[in-house]
Structure 1
Amino acid sequence: MYKQLAKSIREFKKDSIKAPVFITLEVLLECTIPFVIAQLVNQIKAGCEFRVIAMYGIILVAMAGLSLTFGIIGGIASATASSGFARNLRKDIYYKIQTYSFENMDRFSTSSLVTRLTTDVSNVQNAYMMIIRAAIRFPLMLVFAFIMAFVMGGKMAFIFLVVVPILGFGLFLVIRKVMPIFKKVFRKYDALNTSIQENVKGMRVVKSYVREEYEKKKFDGAASDICADFTRAEKILAINNPLMQFCLYTVMVFVLFFGSYTIITSQGMDLDVGQFSALLTYSFQILSSLMMLSMVFVMITMASESASRIIEVLDEDSSLANPLDGQKIVKDGSIDFERVSFKYSETAKKMSLADINLHINSGETIGIIGGTGASKTSLIQLIPRLYDTTEGVVKVGGIDVKDYDLEALRNQVAVVLQKNVLFSGSIKENLRWGNKEATDEEIIEACKLAQADEFIQNFPNGYDTYIEQGGSNVSGGQKQRLCIARALLKKPKVLILDDSTSAVDTKTDAMIRKALREFIPETTKIIIAQRTASVEDADQIIVMDGGSISGIGTHAELLKNNPIYKEVYLSQNKAGEQDEE
């Protein structure tokens, strides 16, 4: 896990090394200063001249200045390294997600991926800063202060060998109790973010059904659950401070009592005033280092769960393997399904598609119709390899889709999915997702084919009109037509419209189909629709039922031979019923 995370350090290795080096120098000086002060106190007690005091003063000021300088350099280096590490880590996670297939995306919820990119990376970033700064500083401080305490205090320093294990054992118990709490709290973060995402995305539905209070209660439940876990953790962690204070004051009382007694009576140990003052300083350094180390361990414990969640994303390999020397050229828009079966996961008991055999000639217009859950979308998603078949082969241009370079295949198989998505930016910027090199003339031509040019021209800023997030400032029908135009700019061999004209009126729908038939006759056009009117003029119509093909034929043939198609047609068309009579 740590090797995988370390790959994201990259150009910040220099700062990651510089931070602990300068922190070490800072600690050495901090631990040496009490020793110098002890010498100064002894010199003053012996009645030294002012010249000696001034010399010690200059040395102490220089040491303090160097310690401050080293601390600042170390702090800047650790901040730079941790921030850069977090930036690279977010970049690596985001880039990894871009390689995912739909199957991979199905394993992670959107809210979970957002949590991993934000909260989890922030936790790992803070832990990394702790590791290269605090996790270096406080162990070194502990070791050096121990050594100096024995040098200055002699046998009296053995008090630390009694107190430190007690404090360490107490901190171990605290951390052991806190770890399980932090491990489960991040799963609850996912639930909280899911609640927020659903509420914001579905705000219109929430307000339409007056469900604000219900959503508030759902959010409060998730937030309160997280609050309760963190409160429990903080209550346990709160034991740290009084435990440390108890050990600190116990040591202080011991050192003050026996140190004072020794100095006054000059018995038992050779301890002078300077050594005594230094021993008190080292006592505080040792115990405060232990206290801070416990906080470092808690931070690392919390971050370790975040790190494992990040690694889950980075270690997830795309279920779609892109061949190294994949075919770059799609010869034509012919499509073949040869004994194709498909299910969305290995654990699924039933196939979504079963034993599909199908041939589509290049340039044909194919309609696909069927009830909800008939697997119409599942069928077309196999063509551009959004999913891979479980059994059988799908061919485009006579070649297995698995043998194509993914980018080359998807550039020639344009899909307007059922859920239309527009991004923040101008209309032109959204349309150029189809072809980033498209000229203004090509954009206008594609919009005319998609029957979008007229309403765009009516906007005050025309093609420079800004699209709000999610396309909230355009209607459903306008959004569909913009998505169709975007797909047309790819100039594909195969164009798939997955119920992409459901929000437009029948007249506009007919005009779009007419434009596609006349202006891109060589492109294979597959139209999934709920209305039979949208596919009546197709060369062939495929009727789907329960993951299988129920019938294939023209409109007239299916009316005669296919009861499913006939039922759908009659239910939508009263004129058809009169003709039947």
Structure 2
Amino acid sequence: MIKLSRFLKPFQIPIYFVLGLVLLQSLAELYLPTLMADIVDKGVVTGDTAYIWKIGGFMLLVAAGGMICSLAASFYSAKAASGFGKLLRTKVFSHVGDFSLHEFDKLGTASLITRTTNDITQIQQVLVMMLRMMAMAPMMCIGGIIMAYSKDSKLTLVLAVALPILVLAIVIIAKKGIPLFKAMQVKLDNLNRVLRENLTGIRVIRSFNRVEHEKKRFDAANWDLTQTAIKVNKLMAAMMPIMMIVLNLSTVAIIWFGGIRISNGHMQVGDMMAFIQYAMQIMFSFIMLSMMFVMIPRASVSAVRINEVIDTVADIKNPANPVLGKGAKGQVEFRNVTFSYPGAEMPAISNISFSMNPGEVTAIIGGTGSGKSTLINLIPRFYDVDSGNVLVDGVDVREMTQEQLREKIGFVPQQAVLFTGTIAENIRYGKEDATEDEVRHAAEIAQANEFISDMPDGFDATIAQGGTNVSGGQKQRLSIARALVRKPEIYIFDDSFSALDFKTDAKLRGALKGETGDSTVLIVAQRVSTIIDADQILVLDNGEITGIGTHKELMESSAVYREIVMSQLSEEEIA
């Protein structure tokens, strides 16, 4: 948690206010028993009613001052903790935004969500308690011991016996609790992952009648977390009875020995009453610390997990001295590129070399797992190559900033992703300042106008979370429109026509020719009919290029391509 304290710098003034107010509150609490002792010894014993009213009124003022300080401290501690939580969430979110896909694969999406929400909330809650209790407990403890000693030094021997027992109990319970808190956060990640998979895959789950299976998976993860939580709470529940036993026994001992000292004339009744209150304040300061020890282990685990995210260095960084393009705008070249996923035994693609030029359509085709999507993910630098070079405009993509590179690209992913908002807002995601005419034109080229016009609100129609209120083909067309409105130098279509019928596919490809004529176009497709007219076709097999050329050339030279064509087209269509 110490490493995260740097995020508290903007909130130094509220924190100082809290510490000052807590000090004043503690002084008020410590002064009240002395005033009460004076009332008993000088007012009640002597029958001085005027003195009782005078000191009693002063006690009310001190108590009111302490209450005001307490309320103000609560306000400023909540303000500082909330601001800290907001700043930390922003930092984690922006840092995660710079991660490559490798970091996402490593940490896991479910875990990142838990860390950004639950873990930061844990720390925020503990911070509020720390600013109040952690600051107040030492003041009350030290001040209480000093005041108790001033009332009767010999009676403080009771505290000398009681306090080590409390400290020992806190240390033992905290030592056993920390590993359980660590396990709880891991199990919470697992529960979050199961729940996320269940919610996002609900259609598949229902279509295969696996609802009961998923319930069992969720119940298992939930029960695992519950069992650990019960163990933690049982352990922590033992702390309070121990505290109360020590507190009550200490009170009995103080009354016992204090009564003896009063009868011997070494102590007054008011002082003994004050001593009991100081003893309770000291004990309760330890109870406050014990409550902190309940929260701090869990918060420390959360802090470690957040620091793990913040300390994770993205594999992909912007160069110190970025280089601008040297070649033709939109030109892409692969030179002996090899790439492996972390932990993989074999490279996903090996020794890939080819080039794409503006005004040309390049297509990639191959079997499942041949490396098609891997190859195109290297162009926008979602991953970095193991060896070789990927060049855009004659410059290695590693020598350009990620923003410069991606401004040149209109990317349509294999899984169409839409965001909550209107249709127009989703299309403008590709170009924030796109005019209404540009949005409509992009939708028209993408063959989306027809279904948009059928919606009651047209371009202002709302897209539900995840695009669940539109079909797969409509999602793809809106994703294509989003890329088109950008008017990039390079278009990348990752199997973006698979959900379209043949008629819409043909119309879309015809419209794209006029729109993307000056750009470099790369199409990954499973259907031969989609890429048959491409200027060059790359045939991938097991991560290697086994053929490159036009459809006609590949029919003669590539057995793999010929096999794919024969499996999809009739002899008449091939002819």
TM bin (shorter chain):
over 0.9
Q: What corresponds to 2:23 in structure 1?
A: 24
What is the one-letter code of the residue matched to 2:176?
Answer: K
Q: What corresponds to 1:159 in structure 2?
A: 158
Q: Report the Cα distance in structure 2 between the residues aligned to 1:63 and 1:214, rounded to whole angstroms.
A: 63
Q: What corresponds to 1:140 in structure 2?
A: 139
Q: What corresponds to 2:120 in structure 1?
A: 121
Alpha-carbon offset, residue 578 of structure 1: 8.0
Q: What corresponds to 1:359 in structure 2?
A: 355
Q: What corresponds to 1:480 in structure 2?
A: 476
What is the one-letter code of the residue matched to 1:387?
Answer: Y
**Cα-to-partner distance string for 1:355-406 (whole Å, 9 max, x where unaligned):** 1111122221011100000000111111111111110111111111112221
Alpha-carbon offset, residue 51 of structure 1: 2.4
SS for the counterpart of 2:152 is helix
What is the one-letter code of the residue matched to 1:520?
Answer: T
Alpha-carbon offset, residue 349 of structure 1: 2.6
In the TM superposition, 1:44-443 aligns within 5 A as: 44-266=43-265, 270-327=266-323, 331-345=328-342, 347-443=343-439
Contact 2:325 2:395 in 1 (8 A): no
SS for the counterpart of 2:540 is strand
Alpha-carbon offset, residue 138 of structure 1: 1.1
What is the one-letter code of the residue matched to 2:378?
Answer: L
Alpha-carbon offset, residue 102 of structure 1: 1.3
**Cα-to-partner distance string for 1:409-456 (whole Å, 9 max, x where unaligned):** 101111111111000000001011100110111111111111111111
In the alignment, is residue 527 of structure 1 matched against residue 484 of structure 2? no
Q: Report the Cα distance in structure 2 between the residues aligned to 1:194 and 1:274, rounded to whole angstroms.
A: 61
SS for the counterpart of 2:180 is helix
Contact 1:340 1:355 in 2 (8 A): yes
**Cα-to-partner distance string for 1:137-166 (whole Å, 9 max, x where unaligned):** 112111111111111122011110111101
Q: Report the Cα distance in structure 2 between the residues aligned to 1:405 and 1:109, rounded to whole angstroms.
A: 26
Contact 1:138 1:290 in 2 (8 A): yes
Q: Report the Cα distance in structure 1 between the residues aligned to 2:294 and 2:101, rounded to whole angstroms.
A: 37
Q: Report the Cα distance in structure 2 between the residues aligned to 1:531 and 1:576, rounded to whole angstroms.
A: 17
Contact 1:18 1:74 in 2 (8 A): yes
Contact 2:366 2:372 in 1 (8 A): yes
Alpha-carbon offset, residue 217 of structure 1: 1.2
**Cα-to-partner distance string for 1:216-271 (whole Å, 9 max, x where unaligned):** 111111111111111111111121112112111211111111212322343xxx11
Alpha-carbon offset, residue 214 of structure 1: 1.2
Alpha-carbon offset, residue 2 of structure 1: 2.0
SS for the counterpart of 1:336 is strand
What is the one-letter code of the residue matched to 2:390?
Answer: V
SS for the counterpart of 2:533 is coil
RMSD in angstroms over aligned alpha carbons?
Answer: 1.4
Q: Report the Cα distance in structure 1 between the residues aligned to 2:329 and 2:574, rounded to whole angstroms.
A: 42
In the TM superposition, 1:552-563 aligns within 5 A as: 552-563=548-559
Contact 1:146 1:286 in 2 (8 A): yes
Q: Report the Cα distance in structure 2 between the residues aligned to 1:41 and 1:551, rounded to whole angstroms.
A: 102
Alpha-carbon offset, residue 575 of structure 1: 2.8
Q: Report the Cα distance in structure 2 between the residues aligned to 1:12 and 1:175, rounded to whole angstroms.
A: 29
Q: What corresponds to 1:9 in structure 2?
A: 8
Say which of 538, 541, 548 aligns to 1:542: 538
Q: Report the Cα distance in structure 1 between the residues aligned to 2:173 and 2:431, rounded to whole angstroms.
A: 58
Contact 1:149 1:157 in 2 (8 A): yes
What is the one-letter code of the residue matched to 1:96?
Answer: H
Contact 1:329 1:408 in 2 (8 A): no
Q: Report the Cα distance in structure 1 between the residues aligned to 2:240 and 2:381, rounded to whole angstroms.
A: 58
What is the one-letter code of the residue matched to 2:566?
Answer: L
SS for the counterpart of 2:337 is strand
What is the one-letter code of the residue matched to 2:421?
Answer: G
SS for the counterpart of 1:9 is helix
Alpha-carbon offset, residue 46 of structure 1: 4.1
Q: Report the Cα distance in structure 1 between the residues aligned to 2:324 and 2:83, rounded to whole angstroms.
A: 37
Unaligned 5+ runs, structure 2: none
What is the one-letter code of the residue matched to 2:406?
Answer: R
What is the one-letter code of the residue matched to 1:421?
Answer: V
SS for the counterpart of 2:313 is coil
In the TM superposition, 1:498-517 aligns within 5 A as: 498-517=494-513
TM-score, with normalisation over the residues of structure 1? 0.96
Q: Report the Cα distance in structure 1 between the residues aligned to 2:33 and 2:227, rounded to whole angstroms.
A: 44
Give the count of matched residue pairs: 574
What is the one-letter code of the residue matched to 2:203?
Answer: R
Q: Report the Cα distance in structure 2 between the residues aligned to 1:58 and 1:461, rounded to whole angstroms.
A: 70
Contact 2:18 2:73 in 1 (8 A): yes
SS for the counterpart of 2:153 is helix
Contact 1:570 1:576 in 2 (8 A): no
Q: Report the Cα distance in structure 1 between the residues aligned to 2:190 and 2:84, rounded to whole angstroms.
A: 27
Q: CA 1:166/1:178 → structure 2, altered by over 3 Å: closer, same or farther?
A: same
Q: Report the Cα distance in structure 1 between the residues aligned to 2:420 and 2:21, rounded to whole angstroms.
A: 46
Contact 2:324 2:395 in 1 (8 A): no
Q: Report the Cα distance in structure 2 between the residues aligned to 1:451 and 1:2, rounded to whole angstroms.
A: 56
Alpha-carbon offset, residue 172 of structure 1: 1.0
SS for the counterpart of 1:8 is helix
Unaligned 5+ runs, structure 1: none
Q: Report the Cα distance in structure 1 between the residues aligned to 2:93 and 2:190, rounded to whole angstroms.
A: 21
Which deviates further from its counterpart, 80-89 or 206-215?
A: 206-215
**Cα-to-partner distance string for 1:189-216 (whole Å, 9 max, x where unaligned):** 1110001100110111111122211111
Q: Report the Cα distance in structure 2 between the residues aligned to 1:81 and 1:381, rounded to whole angstroms.
A: 42
Alpha-carbon offset, residue 133 of structure 1: 1.2
Q: Report the Cα distance in structure 2 between the residues aligned to 1:406 and 1:512, rounded to whole angstroms.
A: 30
What is the one-letter code of the residue matched to 2:137?
Answer: F
Say which of 440, 450, 457 aligns to 2:446: 450
Alpha-carbon offset, residue 468 of structure 1: 0.3
**Cα-to-partner distance string for 1:72-91 (whole Å, 9 max, x where unaligned):** 11111111111111111111
Q: Report the Cα distance in structure 2 between the residues aligned to 1:304 and 1:2, rounded to whole angstroms.
A: 9
Determine what percentage of the aligned residue pairs are the same residue. Answer: 38
SS for the counterpart of 1:183 is helix
Q: CA 1:465/1:578 → structure 2, altered by over 3 Å: closer, same or farther?
A: closer
